[in-house]
Each structure stands twice: as structure tokens, then as C-alpha cells.
Amino acid sequence: MRLLLSYTLLQLSITLLAQTSAKDNLVPNPGFEEYLGIPTDWFYSGEDFTRVMRYWDSPTGASPDAYGPNIYVPRHWREKGFGQTKAHGGHSRVGLTLYGCHGGKPHCREYIQTQLIEPLVPGQRYEISYWIHPLTNSLQINNLGVGFASLHSVSQTDEVLTPEYLLSNEEILSSTPGEWVQCRHEFHAQSEAGYMIIGNFKSDEETRVRSRCPGECLPFAYYYIDDVVLRKLPPILDVPVAPDDLSRAVLEEEKTVRLNYIFFDSGKADFLPRSFRELYLLLELMQGHPDMVIEVHGHTDNLGTDEFNHLLSLERAQNIFTFLTDHGIDPGRIQYNGFGNTNPISDNATEASRSRNRRVEFLIIRM
């Protein structure tokens, strides 16, 4: 059975998707509830945070702190109040040192960074919101803000970052103990920035500071962050659809359809945030064609051992199976398999050709 979407239906589908995305959060893991591993100890470097927090990383050598059910905060830090504030939502939150370099504090300027689920659309109006709570015994400051960048920021120091576009709080941010305060900004996107960073993007000298501690204040500013939301505001601008977009796919039995916008880090099976639009399009296809049965195929390049590549390709295909079944698709409609590097579509002579071989596809078994 052959299904070909007409131009009218395609445009309607794109419009409905755009209207739906207006309500969607473009920030992955917005409440910091998802972990790559089980964190059990305090963080001493940015790499520690990056290693355990799913979809978020530290763009500098400084170490943001994650607070969750299994994270142990050393006693001398607990005595200063660290970790005593409950999460705004769920069980987890992060903490950032945002001021105190002049006093010689190590890791005096900390940031958290994430790849957005989709890049900003130039001219589109957005709202960014997040909840903050200053550590009770720390200083309070202004300048906590959100920056957007086209490239992933990486630094080995705790330098002040300078994103391409910045939204900052000019007033000093304060709250009473136990009270979370929401920060909100509206803005028109100026570029197709795909990364978002939260922190203080000004030096200590450019930052206003206030002391409102019950006793003596710690010589730095420390804030908890939770529940980060970035969403489009009406009117929603049309986004050009690529020729190989999944919404344009012609579906027929025994046809193999490539998922062109599923992304993984090299050697890993976890989806990168930019994959979610494609995953939700696949979910919509499965929901819109309730008789369709597919087999998901994972493939790799020829780097690594045959055993590693087979397991990696199988795990990537299995993760798509898990995503679909977690969203209500009957497991009986989805099979999955991993082929490692045994079915290349290009030679493996260059990085470009290897990237074509690192792919995920699905075979339509029945329509």
C-alpha cells in the first residue's frame, strides 16, 4: 500500500506541528531530574557535572552542583546551608556560584549549558523562564541571566563567558528562605542559536551585590536553579522544511526510511536533544497509521571492534523502540535490530563517508 501526502495535507501537518510546538518546552531535562549515571558525591570539576547530568554540561572548568536524592553533600558544606533548600519541582535542582572571584573563591563563576531541542527561529518571539533561590547564607546579586550561542561553548577555566545574545536580570534577585522566585524574559530571536547557557555573564566589578543573611554572609553569591522553560509565543513563524524531512516521507510496505535527524555523540547511544523533533515526527507517523508495523535498524561506521559496533547499533535502535513504547505505541508494532558496520551505504575512507554510515532507519513491514 502506497501513501503519498498531498501538499495541502503536508502544510496542514506542518501548521499543526508548529501550533503544538508553541506549547512545548524547547529545553531538555528542564528540572534536572534525569541523570546519565548515579551521582553519589560532591562535584569538584565541570567534568563531574557533565558526566552525570543528562543533556546539560558545564561549559567551563568550574563545577555546577547537582542536588538529588542520591547526592551526598559533605558535612562542612551542609553546615553552611548547601543542599537544604528543597527543589521547586520534582526532586532535583542545580546550584551555581555567580560572584566572589575578587575574594579568591575557586570556581567563582559557574554556568550550565544545554543544546536546545530545536534552534531559535530568527524573528520568532519566545519566553524564557526559570526559578531561582539564593543560598540563605550567601550574597545576593543582579546579572543572573540566560545567553544564547550558535556553537557549544568549551573552556578549561572559570572565565566569564560572552554569548552572542544575552538576557540578564538588572535587579538584585532575592527571596525569603524556602521561597522560589521565577525569572521571565520575552525576546525576539536574532539568530539560529542552538545552545543556551545560564549564569552571570558580567565580572564582579560589573555586578551589584547585597548582603541580607541571617548571620554573617559567605563571601560569594550562590543560587539554586530549577524548572527552566523556553517556548515560542504566537504568532508562530513558519520554519522551512528540508527535502529529507520525515514529514515528507513516502510510506510503503518493504520500504526503508532513514531518520536523518537522529543524533548521537560518537560511541554513545543516548539521543542528543536535537533528535526529539524527529522522534516526535516518527511518533506522529505511528499514531496516524495505527496498522503500521516497523523494524528499527541501527548502523555504525567501521571505527571500533565489530562486537562494540554491533552492541552500539542495537542499543541505539532499542532506544527508539523505548521512546515509542514509552509514548503509548504498542510494542508489538515495533521490532528492532542492530547491524553494526555490516551494511555501509558509503565507504569509510573519510569522516564524511563514515558519518553517512552512522545512521538509524526503519523498515516498514506492514501498513
The region, left, alpha or beta by phi > 0 then psi within -120 to 50, assigned to residue 107 is left
CA separation for the pair 190, 162 (Å, rounded): 16
Cell digits of residue 253: 510496505
Closest residue by Cα to residue 94 from 225, 254, 252: 225
Q: Is 37 exposed, middle or buried (0-12, 13-18, 19+ CB in 10 A)?
A: exposed
Tell me if 295 sits within 8 A of 335, measured CB to CB: yes
3-state secondary structure of 223: strand
Q: How many residues in the chain?
A: 367
The pLDDT score that the predictor gives to residue 72 is 87
Radius of gyration of the chain (CA): 23
Q: Tell whether the model's pLDDT for residue 155 goes beyond 60.
A: yes
CA distance to 63, 133, 154, 217, per residue, from 220 (Å): 15, 14, 24, 8
Grade residue 18 by pLDDT with cuts at 50, 70 and 90. Answer: very low
> What's the CA angle centered on 292, arms 289 and 294, to 5 degrees?
135
Give the CA angle between residues 201, 220, 195 to the nearest 5°.
25
* 292 φ, ψ (degrees, to nearest 5): -75, 130
pLDDT tens profile 70-107: 888 989 899 999 999 999 999 999 999 999 988 777 78
In this predicted model, what pLDDT tens digit does every residue of 24-43 receive, in sequence order? Answer: 899 999 999 999 877 767 77
Alpha helices per DSSP H over the chain: 7-21, 46-52, 75-78, 276-288, 306-326, 351-357
On whether the pTM is more than 0.75, the answer is yes
Q: Are the beta carbons of 32 and 89 closer than 8 angstroms?
A: no
- Condensed to tens digits (0 to 9), the pLDDT of residues 269-319 reads 999 999 999 999 999 999 999 999 999 999 998 988 999 999 999 999 999
Give yes or no for a contact between 199 and 112, defined as CB atoms under 8 angstroms apart. Answer: yes
